[in-house]
Amino acid sequence: MLLVCVLAGIILGWLADALAERLPQWTGHGRSSGEPAPLRLPAIVRWGLRQPGVDTVALAVELGSAALLAGLWAVCGPSWAFGVLGVSYCYLLLVALVDLKHRLVLNAMVYPGLAVAVAAHLLAADQSLARVLAGGGMAFSIFFLTGWLRPGQLGFGDVKLAALIGVGLGFPAILWALLAGTGAAGVVAIWLLRRGVSAGTHIPYAPFLCLGALAALLVTLLPPLG
């Protein structure tokens, strides 16, 4: 079954990368331009065949997805936690890739995600409404104020995504997500500065928000080891 998860992860990463190329145009976003590249073989297959021009981001996404799904299966097995984490990872990966490729956080992804998060909490009754609202309100306030005080650093799409993650995780789990995401963004920013990248260079923030959200979900839902 682990081999099945590895293969599923590679296919998932391949499809997510291809969909991220096309989603802005499909949703009619005006800032997307040009025709997306034709669908090609998975990056890991092209790398194995020694084809030129293999996208390192696509290769990393495929390998990372394979490792994550296999690891989740090894820890969780066929469980509710595996399903929730798998679906959440697919969603967060697609949001992150779209922002990485197009510098966009699409309303067509954020608003349905917000509705699903609220509905999931209501059906599961896993958190009080106060904690859900506190998580969303805290994340929204922090990112809205940051974007207002430092124009150009954060887009309103990042603010809405932060609110969605806050609602999805609730309080206090949103704190761990924000700390993990902000910490990862800080490490990358320092690394880029040391490589001579200008301090004014815009760094897409959604991938770090999604990374923090995934980390918080793993801490919350994974069973204790041992």
Predicted confidence at residue 32, as pLDDT, reads 47
Place of tokens 């890739």: 97
pLDDT tens digits, one per residue of 174-212: 999 999 998 998 888 788 778 766 655 677 889 999 999
* Angle (CA) 161 162 164, round 5°: 65
Local confidence pLDDT in tens for the 226 residues of the chain = 888 999 999 999 999 999 998 888 887 765 545 566 677 889 999 888 888 888 899 999 999 999 999 999 999 888 888 999 999 999 999 999 999 999 899 999 999 999 999 888 887 776 778 888 889 999 999 888 887 777 667 788 899 999 999 999 998 889 999 999 989 988 887 887 787 666 556 778 899 999 999 999 998 888 765 5
DSSP 206: H
Q: Which own/partner contact pairs does 17-23 have at CB distance under 8 Å and 24+ positions apart?
A: 17/43, 17/55, 17/57, 17/58, 17/61, 17/62, 17/97, 19/94, 20/94, 20/97, 20/98, 20/100, 20/101, 20/102, 21/101, 23/94, 23/98, 23/106, 23/108, 23/109
Rounded CA gap, 99 and 165, in Å? 16
Predicted confidence at residue 221, as pLDDT, reads 84
Element (H, E) at 29: none
Rounded CA gap, 70 and 89, in Å? 13
Rounded CA gap, 119 and 122, in Å? 5
Predicted confidence at residue 222, as pLDDT, reads 82
Q: Residue 161's closest CA among 131, 204, 206? A: 206
